[in-house]
Structures are given as structure tokens and as C-alpha cells.
Structure 1
């Protein structure tokens, strides 16, 4: 398939892409909030204030994340020029936390060079790519096609506001804050017993900044295969990152994330702990 490269207004381009790609997606054809192209990436980089990032980047859902990851992922901005721009404008000390986040991307790709890690990532990516034909034939999403045994897809609603709202944001915008990504992965892996490859596929399908290496190894990190310690979160963390808003809106009778991290982990590991 060859798509037209003719310059169009954004709405006209959305309509053109929706028609050209019909059958390859489900639901309404919603345009990404990100404007593509290097020029847009450079504008975003120049507008980025690392001081606001330092103060609010862990706040969900409207914290000051850089939103540069799609441009980095698709090769429109390099890690070096992003680092240099931020450090030059705000200084090395103020930029340290943000630069560390850039280095995580380098770390995952260096780790990928290890044969065992590469084979796992490549296997998951190959499986995801092989499902494209099934998606086109069935009209379902890749994650639905991937659900083994014909069972219902794993990525619906769970009655937990922090998880359901994060999944809604992912589907509708193609972007998530770092905290929301961790919450989804932790809940699906440790409570719903989802295979990490299913989560990997779902993020690959929806994230506009999906990097197969970073995505796959991040899921395995949450699982505990890389650090030796699985990632869990508790209600206190959700309240801290959302100013209590998510918990106030949640209607679940008994929050599974209540208590210390140790208590949450112990609860998740009990037989039958999955929340339906």
C-alpha cells in the first residue's frame, strides 16, 4: 500500500487515512493528539520546560511529561539533541532527572544486545506481526485476535478506576504517563495473570511511541525477570500521583491495592486473587 504524501489539513488527512486503512482498525478513527514530523518535534522540544517536568511528571493524568517520546521513537529527534537542548537551556543539575530517563532507553537497547533478551523480544515481535493477517480478516483488534483459547479479550474494564481510566486513555490517545504504564502492567501481570507477551502486543498496538525493545523489556522488568524484584504499586501511590482523584471516583467495594507494598504483593499472590 502506498499512501499519498500530499499536504492536507489535519482533519482531511484523518479522513483519508481512515478510509485508506479501513479494516486494519476497530472503533472510531480518532486522530492522535500528536502532530507528526520533525518540525513538530522540534517545536515540542523548544517548548519543553524541565523545571515543570521535575515538579509534576509523576502526576496522572495531566502531569508535565515531555511528550517527546513519539518523536524519539520514530527517529525525528535524537537522544543527543534532546539532551543537549535541555541541558543547554536549564543546566546539568536541573536536567539530571530527565536525562536519566533518556538513559533508560539506552539501557534497554544495550540489554537487548544480550542474546537471551534479544530472542525473547524478537519472538514477541514476530508473534505480534504474524497476527496482522488475522486482524485484517476478522476485523478485530490485534489483542482480541491474540487471546488464546477463544476466550474474551483481557483488556476490557475491571471496575478499578485507576486501571480502567488508564486503559481508556491509552486507547483514545495512544499515550500514557510512565506511572499509568506501570499500573496497567503490574495489574495485568500480577493480578490478572496475563502473559507479558499479551501486554506487549496491546501496547504495541495502541502506543504512538511503542518501541518494541523498550516495550518488551519494560514488561519483563515489571514481571521481575530483569531486576529480580517484581513491581507492585499500592493505593497510597495512586492517591499521591492523582491527588486522590482516581480513588475518589473508584466504586470498588474493597480496594485490592490497600496497605503496604508487601501486603499488596502477598494479596496478589493468593490463589484466586484475580479481580473480575
Structure 2
């Protein structure tokens, strides 16, 4: 594992330089070799959850999905298109993509995604603090709306409030930790339809404050404590050591998981108590 000296206060490696580029190529080149794979695990889960949310009723038309910390829209790509995460990595690291300017890549990706659009595609709203990333996802057709806002420090804009009013499902992969219960609190209360929440959360990050916030708004959260989903390889021995310490402190066992060299997440599903 390569040593990366730039870390967060929690000991996790920072990747700030790749999160807000005009296109995802730097993001893929950095995270691909680390086998960042949580969107792959989420693909089928989010499709099933969206179908269940649709079957539960209470919405007008298709279920609108709000993807938190959406970045370049990969969750939306995997939800609504005939494509895999492996194919996305190959697409953005191909010689063809490498030869294009960002503007040319956007035009190319409009066709790339349009040709793979699923018949059951759902409206997706993207929320992230990285304006360049969400604007890319909007430009290529992955997002129906893009909002670059930080709800940890500011209330949602009127435009975001209107978008949230029609949301039926909130999704997040890996963003909890960057966002806390404050973001969820800011979103809850704007909805017209009952929310469901499907969240993959690192085992190093406490999720109880979010669960409590959701419970205060009538949502019950369930998880399978015996099931985990790998996120990515550690970038350094120091990052791994810190993650193992955090998992132990949370009362979990890192054996065979973080102790073997990868971050792992747990899936939390939240629904109204009446469902």
C-alpha cells in the first residue's frame, strides 16, 4: 500500500483534488486502483429498494431518488443504465476518453449514457458540495436536477426544498461521515411523499445520530449486522490501523474485514413505521 500523508482528522485519506473536477477521469484513475467498489454493491440494492418503494405507493408517478454526496453521478448511472461499475472504469480510462477535452467528453458521454438508458429509469436528484461534479452529471443526463449545497452549514435553498418535496427514496454510498444527521434533518420536513432511506455506511463511522433523526420523523431503521460490503483498499498502513481502532471502539470485530486491508460498510434501510 502506498503511503498518503494527507488525511482527515479521523485518519482517513483525503481525495479532495479529485472530487470537483470538470469530469470523472481523475476520480476514476485514483479510486479504480484502490478497488473502490461500493457503487457496484449498491446497484442491485438501490434498484430493488426503488421497486419496493414504488410498490408501496404514496407517490405521484415514478419514484424520485435523491442521491446524497452524488459526486459525478455514478450511482445514478448504475441505477438507470445498462452498465456496470467495471465498464464505467474502463470507459473513463480508455485511450479514447483520454484524448478528449472535458467539453468533448461531455458530448461523448451524452450519447454513451443515452444509448444505455433503461426503460424503467427513475428521476434522480443529485446533492453534493462539488459543483463541477454535479454539473457534469447533469450535463451528460445522469441527473434530472443537480444541487451543489452544503446542508451541514446552510439550510437548503428553495429550489432544493421543492425538489425534495417529490422525493420518495434517499440513497447514499460512503458519504456518511462527510455528512451527518444535520444534513438529514435539513432535508426532512420538506417532503410531500414519505421518504425511504437506503444508506451504505462505513463501519468506522457512527450512524446512530442519523438513525435517531430519522426515528424522530417516523422512520424505522434496520440492518443486517452480519452482512458487510467492501468499499475500497486502504491507502496506507496508518489508514488501516486507524480504521481498525475505530471499528474496535464501536464494538465490532475487524477480523477478516478491516484487518485484511479494506474498508467495509453496512447497509441501513429506513422506512416509515407503517410500512
Above 0.5 in TM-score? no
Find the structure with the greater CA-based Rg.
1
Which structure is higher in helix share? 1
Could you tell me the TM-score, scaled by structure 1's length? 0.24
